[in-house]
Amino acid sequence: MSKALDFNNIPSHVAIIMDGNGRWAKAHGEERLFGHSNGVDSVREALKCARELGIKYLTLYAFSTENWARPESEIQGLMQLLVASIHSELEGLCENGVRLKTIGDVSRLPKDCIDSLQEAVEKTEANKDITLILALNYSSRDEIIRACNRLAAKVKSGALNPGEIKQKDVEEALDTVNIPDPELLIRTSGEFRVSNFLLWQLAYAEMHFTKVFWPEFRREHFIEAISDFQSRERRFGKTSEQIS
Ligand code: FPP
């Protein structure tokens, strides 16, 4: 049982690796896509809970650059699920002040996905309660390479001097420009890896791993993760005495 949450210490950005959809489906004697579609209920619940707690950014690893290696039928199913979910949830996102953003190279997604995402991003642009960031065709190394290319172009144009690249320049070249770093990473399904997700941005994040498969991740598990976060002493390289 987790103790009562401290509402003065809620992370402003939580990132989640939603894992275990396939194993959960298998355990129920179903196809992998059954796990993914049940995972959408967990997405809705996590977003609702995050918003109620006052979390300002929620980033979800929805499709990695490595996921293209999955069977074609699963990829197609996931893309269709994404389009269908955006259509069915868009009104709710607007009513609840949710702004939608994406990170990753979405230009490589099927056209109907790109169109639905673009519509949802535009329609939710002015919403202020919480920003939901979907990582799609995303991997951190891919993002860092994109950032390097952006920086190289700036150097070539004369807007940036070689040898004078600062942390801020790199941050501004990443897909997550203007988004604060996650303070908490949650990964479901009992795996203890970061899997090429937000490698730069997670530098000081607390990590919470749970055995729960993503389709069964509910409010109580989210609260448990926040409670775990609140039990940590965040030192950022300093000593315990310096921060107390
Ligand atoms: C990982 O489980 C999950 C994914 C690769 C996809 C996540 C997608 C959703 C939850 C649905 C769509 C999302 C939105 C935002 C509408 P896995 O398939 O790797 O599970 P396994 O490790 O048990 O095989």
**Hey, which residues does 63 pair with through a beta bridge?**
136
State which ligand 1 atom lies nearest to the alpha carbon of 86: 16
pLDDT value of residue 235: 76
> Using CA atoms, how far apart are residues 97 and 49, in angstroms rounded to an integer?
13
Ligand 1, atom 6, residue with closest C-alpha: 62
For ligand 1, atom 24, name the residue with the nearest CA: 22
CA separation for the pair 72, 169 (Å, rounded): 38
Any domain includes 237 = no
Q: Assess if residue 132 is contained within a domain.
A: yes
- In the annotation, is 127 catalytic? no
Say if 71 falls within a structural domain: yes
Q: Which helix (H) or strand (E) holds 62?
A: strand 57-64
Q: What is the pLDDT of residue 1?
A: 46
> What spacing in Å lies between the alpha carbon of 63 and ligand 1's midpoint?
7
Closest CA relative to residue 86, chosen from 58, 123, 57: 123
Q: What is the pLDDT of residue 33?
A: 97
DSSP assignment letter at 148? H
| Structural domain includes residue 147 | no
Q: What is the CATH number of the domain that holds 67?
A: 3.40.1180.10
What are 209's two structure tokens?
């791993």
Q: Note whether residue 163 is domain-resident.
A: no
Which residue stretches of the chain have pLDDT < 50? Answer: 1
Q: Note if 169 is an active site residue.
A: no
Domain count, the chain: 1
Is 241 inside a domain boundary?
A: no
The values of phi and psi at residue 16, to 5°, are -130, 130
Give Cβ neighbours of residue 100 (< 8 Å, ≥ 6 apart): 93, 117, 120, 121, 124, 131, 132, 134
Residue 56 lies in a domain: yes
Mutate to test the pocket of ligand 1, among 32, 36, 43, 61 (most ligand atoms within 8 A of CB): 36
The residue behind tokens 């002493």 is 233
Specify the pairing of strand 13-17 against strand 184-187: parallel
Q: Does a structural domain hold residue 168?
A: no
Residue range of the domain that includes 40: 2-139+180-231
